[in-house]
Structure 1
Amino acid sequence: MSISKKTKTDFITASIKKYLTARNIDQHQPKLQISVEEHALKCVIDRECSLRNAISYSPSETLDQQSAEAQYMNFKSWISGSADHFIPELAQLLYPLFSHIYIRLLGIPGAPAAAHRFHNRHLSTFMGNPEFKQFIQQLGEISSFEEIEHCPAVASFVSARYCVTLTKQTYNHLHSRYLETSECSLILSILNQEVDVMVGDWLGAGSRHDYRSGLLTPPLSDHSMDVEDAEKEEVDRFEDLRKIIRDGSPAAPSVSLYRLQNAEEVCLSGEVDHQGIHLVSGGEDGQVRLWRLQPSEEPVFLDYTSSTVKLGCDSETFTSDTNAAAYQQLRTSATVKDVGNGVARYLRGHSGSVYDTIFLPDDKLIVSVSEDSTVRLWDKSNGAGLAAYHGHLYPIWCVASDTIGITFATGSMDKTARLWQPDIPHPLRVFVGHEGDVDCITFHPNGAYVLTGSCDRTVRMWTSSDQKCVRTFTGHKGVVSDVKVSPCGSIAATTGEDKKIRIWDLAQCKIIKELKGHTDRVTNLVWGDSRLLCSAGLDNTIRIWDVKLGDSELRETYTFPGTILGLNMTSMNTLIGITRTTSAQMINSMESMMTPVTNIKTQQQS
């Protein structure tokens, strides 16, 4: 005779009770059976109430404007002072903290002005990362909670947790050295409520930007759509729309081209800041020139008396609002000249040709490298030479900065690359392994790796923390002239004398595809986003590629006269090219608007 369902259930229950009794386990403590409805309700509650976050905190106090500013500044300074191998991971937290502090400040009655001041003070930290700068700018345009609903990007950011993965060592360092010992209630509250801080392999975890750009496939979550319960037609329509958005080609950037004229000396490099306002160039005469690409709203005056040492109390700023008599006196002074358009400010200090110049991400400092084997740091606002770094044995060809401006790296004829920090006079790391000159250098977006290209036809990838070579990319048939890593950090582009652009998978160390089209050496590369790549070469063309397309990667081709010195993507999605010719005009169908920063034009220099 078969046992009924009820008899089976009773038999199982009796067996469990017998098992628990034999081992002296309290039979009334656990519930031996629950209904399907109770089980479903328990799963929903566990899923909604539990936190994956490794940081727990119970918020209590009211938000204070000054306290918010102080806590963010203290946390940022603590990250800068941490050990080198902790900084790239900890820096991930600044982006969500900055965004949520700004949003919370908007919620304080009558405090939009304080929120905007906070935004303007710390905006430059994120301008070096193309994935962040557009969102940060959109965030700054919001003045109240109500406006968040009208901005899809910000609304999506607020509604979802931001994922950050830290290694166990970094998490312990953060927890024990700062969160437990510092007054940081606001930081703790945001990390607990708005950020998913997980402990694991942070380099292997993709950001939400990787998923949006289609470079990674997002894992299934507990909140995934239940296809069986949804209408199939609606699901198919949603999938089609998502595919169009994910796979659609990004918009090509606007292009502006500047041509520099110098009758006596040859310009060797050109770099534009992240806002597209200033241009810095290096020349064979050993001078660094600083230009303003947009007209100044106020007249610029310069006291050219070099023998006078000015004190702090002597410096005055005169504008059109100044007392008319004092303003006129300044204009007619024998030692002060009104600076005219089309003239650069000269930064002098190098004793050899200046081969490369860059702006640090905060757009306040300039770094230059020279034939005299020195690296120099300059203040952009007043042109002062702040530091000279020695370490290389031969001329230095290239320089690059990480995305937040904590460190920069240089490559030299001595076959080495070196890692520097602005406030330390000696190199932090020396990368040795190339068999020829290091001609180009760049950072991975996470700051943990440095990539170098050499005339030995190889590209090497090094760890910033312990200077180990973890990847060697071979395949070029000539000198490697430039290397750039995409904003997503998973692929890199290299190019050189063989006229080809190679796209590499950094994880697997293999070529994904080759971009062909240039008829002469390719000299410059720059990424627009994780799909859009811009290149320039000696064939007098600038080409824009979509690296995700199949056989038709080339999107646009622009022809220009002269030799390309620099190619930069600004925060306004504008591609700016700097060329060297015998003419001093701008080629984007506008009159030349190069205005000086602070210097005057002399007859001896152009």
Structure 2
Amino acid sequence: FKHLLFFRSCKYDIYLSQDALNLLKAYLAKHGHVLLIQVLQTWFHIDINNDTNKKNSEDEEEMEEEVNVTRNDFDDRAMDANDVFAKCNGHAEYQSVDKELRDLQDAIKGVRESMAPLKLYKISAPDTQLVCAKTDPNCNILCGGFSNSEVRLWDLGQNNVKRRVNRNISEFELACYMQPEPSPDDNTLQIGAGLPLRGHSGPVQDVCVLPREELILSASYDNTMRAWRLSDYSCAALYRGHNYPIWCMDVSKSGLFVVTGSNDRTAKLWSLNRTFPVRVFVGHLSDVTCVKFHPNEVYIATGGADRSVRLWSVCDARLMRVLCGHRGVVRTLAFAPSGSYLASAGDDKKIKVWDLAACTCVHEYRGHHGKVTALDWSAIGKSSLTNRMVPDPSDLPTENSLLCSAGMDGIVKVVCDSYSKNKQMSNQEVLSSTYNTKCTYLVDVQVHPEWVVAIGTKR
């Protein structure tokens, strides 16, 4: 009751600047808060404070931009003779923020600026198990491969909502058959179970989305690779050439070629307009478990169950490098954007960075306590993601990028690193972030301009 009397007798004065008052008026005018107008007019005493010496230069620039945008909108409203705020007073934030609140804001700002944002897609499929998954570069389509031989698609909300599903060719229509009218609320792609693509006769081991060609590629345990049309979800082509299950594949940056790795200890190069391989890379002593195109598409890197990483020439399938050092199966590869370095990881839970010119390991990252299943090493198209990892991006050399990893431990690690040919990086020069997700198994990680995308499941 005592505080109520203080409140009604205007015991507490409010100090704010004219700019803050204008901002408050513009906000209330836009949203029509009549009750707040009456409260401000009746119970509050506003003391205009024009002292701007307390503001630093950065605050002045930010405030001027916000006030100019809002003031233009407010001035148009103020010209109206019936302006409901002609006699209204108000308040904005205090010029001097409470110390505890300021410390909390600084802590939140520090966390946001030191970590790259993570976007996580968790796929739940009670009837089967997720084996692999990918998104397109624009993060519009999510494609997953499952152990029940299905490829499933999800629309992530950007486009491709309405699609005509391919007609079942095993059915035929009589003359009296009437086509049912489509429901206005019917969406082919749903976030629930996804749209299934059936045709493989074994678990789907790897998938890839080609939005420019409007195709989806899938490699399976049934020794084949298939291409699916995004226009009607039909199978566009069937590629045969491996004698044993296909474990992995990768598409060149131009989309002209595809490379696959198989249980038959070979990697094979394919052209999408031919159903037979155009190159065969032979040399691994065991399964080829991961493949990756070099950024210039002149070389291909392969990793195998023989614990080695090999670099091949595309034009003549000649072996160029053999990199040994892993103590387990190599499951994933990633080239640096410059093409000078190659990252590899696998069952030994370590990420090794190789200098391709010197054929040596220049760095080794640790931190995963499960098998590493995915790597992505990407340059950043926009500076917003790099700024979160590096306090002063202007001091970085040209060979700076983000190296991301994910594994069966449900952890995503993001490393902002740079290399030079004359020295190896120390641990103090490496900036990293670690995310502990609720997934028990992460199958893919990708770097996008604004965030890092991870896909996983809970087994």
Give your verdict on TM over 0.5: yes
Question: 1:219-252, CA deviations, whole angstroms, 9 ceiling, x for partnerless residues?
Answer: xxxxxxxxxxxxxxxxxxxxxxxxxxxxxxx986
Question: 1:307-339, CA deviations, whole angstroms, 9 ceiling, x for partnerless residues?
Answer: 5679xxxxx9xxxxxxxxxxx95328xxx9554
CA distance in 1, matches of 2:319, 2:325: 17
Please show how residues 319-468 of structure 1 align to structure 2 within 5 Å. 329-331=181-183, 338-339=187-188, 341-360=191-210, 362=212, 364-468=214-318
CA distance in 2, matches of 1:298, 1:388: 26
Answer whether contact 1:273 1:363 (CA < 8 A) is retained: no
Q: Identify the residue that residue 55 of structure 2 maps to in structure 1.
A: none
The one-letter code sitting in structure 1 at the alignment partner of 2:416 is: D
Q: Identify the residue that residue 403 of structure 2 maps to in structure 1.
A: 533
Question: In structure 1, which of residues 546, 555, 567 is the aligned counterpart of residue 416 of structure 2?
Answer: 546
Please show how residues 277-356 of structure 1 align to structure 2 within 5 Å. 277-294=140-157, 329-331=181-183, 338-339=187-188, 341-356=191-206
Q: Identify the residue that residue 498 of structure 1 maps to in structure 2.
A: 348
CA distance in 1, matches of 2:377, 2:128: 31
CA distance in 2, matches of 1:450, 1:300: 36
Give the aligned length.
Answer: 313
- Tell me the CA shift for residue 520 of structure 1: 2.1
Structure 2: segments with no counterpart, 5+ residues: 1-112, 174-178, 380-399, 419-424
- Tell me the CA shift for residue 574 of structure 1: 2.2
SS in structure 2 opposite 1:375?
strand
CA distance in 2, matches of 1:260, 1:474: 35
Answer whether contact 1:267 1:284 (CA < 8 A) is retained: yes
Answer whether contact 2:287 2:304 (CA < 8 A) is retained: yes
Q: Identify the residue that residue 246 of structure 1 maps to in structure 2.
A: none
- Tell me the CA shift for residue 451 of structure 1: 0.2
- Tell me the CA shift for residue 538 of structure 1: 2.0
Q: Identify the residue that residue 566 of structure 1 maps to in structure 2.
A: 444
Change in CA separation of 1:520 and 1:554 when aligned onto 2, cut-off 3 Å: farther
SS in structure 2 opposite 1:547?
strand
Change in CA separation of 1:299 and 1:513 when aligned onto 2, cut-off 3 Å: closer
CA distance in 1, matches of 2:278, 2:410: 39
Change in CA separation of 1:410 and 1:563 when aligned onto 2, cut-off 3 Å: same
- TM-score for both structures, normalised by structure 2: 0.64
Change in CA separation of 1:453 and 1:551 when aligned onto 2, cut-off 3 Å: same
Change in CA separation of 1:389 and 1:300 when aligned onto 2, cut-off 3 Å: closer
- Tell me the CA shift for residue 306 of structure 1: 5.5
Q: Which has the higher contact order (CA 8 A, sep 6+)?
A: 1
The one-letter code sitting in structure 2 at the alignment partner of 1:559 is: N
RMSD: 2.6
More strand by share: 2
More helix by share: 1
The one-letter code sitting in structure 2 at the alignment partner of 1:532 is: L
Q: Identify the residue that residue 228 of structure 1 maps to in structure 2.
A: none
The one-letter code sitting in structure 1 at the alignment partner of 2:285 is: E
Answer whether contact 2:149 2:198 (CA < 8 A) is retained: yes
Structure 1: segments with no counterpart, 5+ residues: 1-249, 311-315, 317-327, 583-606
Q: Identify the residue that residue 578 of structure 1 maps to in structure 2.
A: 455
The one-letter code sitting in structure 2 at the alignment partner of 1:541 is: I
- Tell me the CA shift for residue 519 of structure 1: 1.9
Change in CA separation of 1:341 and 1:257 when aligned onto 2, cut-off 3 Å: closer
Please show how residues 239-254 of structure 1 align to structure 2 within 5 Å. 253-254=116-117
Answer whether contact 1:534 1:543 (CA < 8 A) is retained: yes
More moved, 518-527 vs 367-376: 518-527
Question: 1:45-99, CA deviations, whole angstroms, 9 ceiling, x for partnerless residues?
Answer: xxxxxxxxxxxxxxxxxxxxxxxxxxxxxxxxxxxxxxxxxxxxxxxxxxxxxxx
Q: Identify the residue that residue 266 of structure 1 maps to in structure 2.
A: 129
- TM-score for both structures, normalised by structure 1: 0.49
More moved, 555-564 vs 339-348: 339-348
Please show how residues 18-29 of structure 1 align to structure 2 within 5 Å. none
Q: Identify the residue that residue 50 of structure 2 maps to in structure 1.
A: none
The one-letter code sitting in structure 2 at the alignment partner of 1:265 is: T
CA distance in 2, matches of 1:283, 1:491: 32
Question: 1:323-378, CA deviations, whole angstroms, 9 ceiling, x for partnerless residues?
Answer: xxxxx95328xxx9554552411111111110000113626111111110001111
SS in structure 1 opposite 2:327?
coil
Change in CA separation of 1:380 and 1:298 when aligned onto 2, cut-off 3 Å: closer
Change in CA separation of 1:499 and 1:331 when aligned onto 2, cut-off 3 Å: closer
CA distance in 1, matches of 2:236, 2:405: 33
Question: 1:137-166, CA deviations, whole angstroms, 9 ceiling, x for partnerless residues?
Answer: xxxxxxxxxxxxxxxxxxxxxxxxxxxxxx
Answer whether contact 1:379 1:386 (CA < 8 A) is retained: yes
CA distance in 2, matches of 1:471, 1:479: 18
Change in CA separation of 1:550 and 1:361 when aligned onto 2, cut-off 3 Å: farther
The one-letter code sitting in structure 1 at the alignment partner of 2:433 is: E
Answer whether contact 1:417 1:432 (CA < 8 A) is retained: yes
Q: Identify the residue that residue 323 of structure 2 maps to in structure 1.
A: 473
Please show how residues 507-518 of structure 1 align to structure 2 within 5 Å. 507-518=357-368
CA distance in 2, matches of 1:338, 1:374: 31
CA distance in 2, matches of 1:472, 1:331: 58
CA distance in 1, matches of 2:348, 2:324: 13
CA distance in 2, matches of 1:303, 1:380: 10
SS in structure 1 opposite 2:317?
coil
CA distance in 2, matches of 1:295, 1:465: 38
- Tell me the CA shift for residue 380 of structure 1: 1.9
Answer whether contact 1:361 1:403 (CA < 8 A) is retained: no
Change in CA separation of 1:296 and 1:387 when aligned onto 2, cut-off 3 Å: closer
Matched-pair identity in %: 35
- Tell me the CA shift for residue 299 of structure 1: 6.1
Q: Identify the residue that residue 594 of structure 1 maps to in structure 2.
A: none
Question: In structure 1, which of residues 520, 527, 535 is the aligned counterpart of residue 370 of structure 2?
Answer: 520
More moved, 410-419 vs 554-563: 554-563
Answer whether contact 1:410 1:418 (CA < 8 A) is retained: yes
Q: Identify the residue that residue 4 of structure 2 maps to in structure 1.
A: none
